[in-house]
Copies of this chain bind each other. A is one copy, B any other.
């Protein structure tokens, strides 16, 4: 079924212990929609770019079956740009540059064809924009998943609480969960956050996998153990896109399906980190995905 992905499409410049890139394709919406498109049909992307955004990048989405009618190109402006450097422990990174550019005035208007999408993934944007997207949907999506970050907890707390009450799934990392809840223990944090609106909470733990909280249950999906991690950029967004792509492909929002979606997201994210930017994700095929799902099953006992 149809899935609308809302998120940044951007230029990234990345340095890791394994090398550095020039300006390459990046952004949460990019990784999430490409990942979702591997699993689901009718994935649509809502975003904004500047006139500097190459047509060949837009073609990558179209080749992946991703609808781009809602990717607005603003003349006279530049695309969002992020530059970062990872430490030798790649769990730590410094942001060197953040140029919002065209993103500063982003006020999304959904094309008519997007307004009945059955599933909705809201990337990390201002809570007000996340809310406006939900309000433009003709029908309430069957499942809405959102990301957010500490910055919005510091600067837009009330707006964030409002949009939290409108979504089904919140997907954040452990530090964000601690700040949002004021609790250190992940179980206590989850209990608090699940009382704020969402029925499901996903905690992304990077190389240690992900947790799915629902009522008083927690489900753990390990991350694939990898020999060569080159660039972690986009892993969390690939995970979220894979998660929602799996839900949309199965058109099912049961707890059991969401657990499997967690596995699908984890396995797709394992490709992203093996090369810079979107390189590895763009090379995923049915064959190497199935091979990795099989490896994952042997590693964890969990099979899709």
Contacts and interface: CB of A to CB of B under 8 A. Distances in A.
Interface string A97-116: 00000000000000000000
A226 B298 contact: no
Interface in A196-233: 205, 208-209, 211, 217-220, 222, 225-229
Copies in the complex: 2
A227 B181 CA distance: 14
B219 A185 contact: no
Contact of A299 (B188, B219, B225, B226): B219
Given A225-B187, A227-B188, A298-B219, A208 B211 contact: no
A219 B300 CA distance: 6
B225 A220 contact: yes
A302 interface: yes
Contacts of A227: 185, 187-188
A228 B185 CA distance: 7
B298 A301 contact: no
28 contacts: A185-B226, A185-B227, A185-B229, A186-B225, A187-B225, A187-B226, A187-B227, A188-B227, A205-B208, A208-B208, A209-B222, A211-B225, A217-B298, A217-B299, A218-B225, A218-B299, A219-B298, A219-B300, A219-B301, A220-B222, A220-B299, A222-B222, A259-B301, A300-B300, A300-B301, A300-B302, A301-B301, A301-B302
Interface of A: 185-188, 205, 208-209, 211, 217-220, 222, 225-229, 259, 298-302
Nearest to A186: B225
Nearest to A302: B301
A136 B302 CA distance: 42
Contacts of A300: 219-220, 300-302
Contacts of A299: 217-220
A175 to B, nearest CB: 12
Contacts of A186: 225
- 3 smallest CB-CB distances across A and B, nearest first, come from A187-B227, A208-B208, A220-B222
A19 B188 CA distance: 20
A270 B213 CA distance: 19
Contacts of A228: 185
